[in-house]
A = this chain, B = another copy of it.
Amino acid sequence: MAEDITNVSVTKDAYECTVTVDCAVFGFQEGVLKLLLVQKLKEPFKGYWLLPGGIIKEGQTAEEAIDVVLLSLTGLKNVHQEQVRCYTEVHRHPLKRVITICYYGLINPENHPIVKQKHVNEVEWYRLDELPELGFDHKRLADDALRLLKSNVEERLILGELLPAKFTLKELQELYEALLNEKLDRRNFRKKMLQKDLLVNIGEKKVGSKGGRPDLYKLK
């Protein structure tokens, strides 16, 4: 009897494949946006740089898998994450069929030291304009992740994870400029941010900066 190719139901013996998660972790450091990459230890793509990623195991959601993966490869915990999209091309992975779900993560590198773990060669922050060649289709994932992050920034204001708890308006502006990749007018930016009613002037001044003593703010 010929297989009924029109049957698309879920059955016990339905086709299965491996599902992985990959996470484009963005950090804001020295006034530039950086992406966290790991260098692969084994074939395939041995020696290539990749977004941290790994398999979803039995009983894990994708979000739980991301937490495990980031901890296992980079030592990071509690990374804010958002789903980017799912990639289902059939020959993405040379070993077998692997579908991946891409997320982006945001952290402030100052508060989250990265610690190389045993399943990777190296873990490194790379400036977005100095990315090495990436293995698999991770260049595409990284591009899509950045695009989504930008578009989220333009409509919402979800950057707390990238900044220190107390920050100056200049620091916030530099973050926006790094993300949107354009210069913004200082006074207009200041006006716009302050009238959004999302920032609180905590009444302290930052010391040690070049010019005057800028006010420090926190997120409401």
Contacts and interface: CB of A to CB of B under 8 A. Distances in A.
Interface of A: 5-12, 14-20, 42, 53-63, 65, 68-69, 71-73, 83, 85-86, 88-90, 93, 95-99, 101, 117-119
A59 B72 CA distance: 31
Nearest to A55: B14
A90 B56 CA distance: 11
A54 B20 contact: no
A154 B8 CA distance: 34
A205 B98 CA distance: 53
A18 B99 CA distance: 11
Contact of A117 (B6, B42, B88, B118): B6
A14 B60 CA distance: 13
B42 A62 contact: no
A56 B9 contact: no
Contacts of A59: 90
A56 B88 contact: yes
A15 to B, nearest CB: 5
Contacts of A93: 10
B85 A118 contact: no
Given A19-B17, A88-B101, A55 B96 contact: no
Contact of A98 (B10, B42, B55): B10
A85 B144 CA distance: 14
A25 to B, nearest CB: 15
Given A10-B18, A16-B17, A99-B19, A88 B69 contact: no
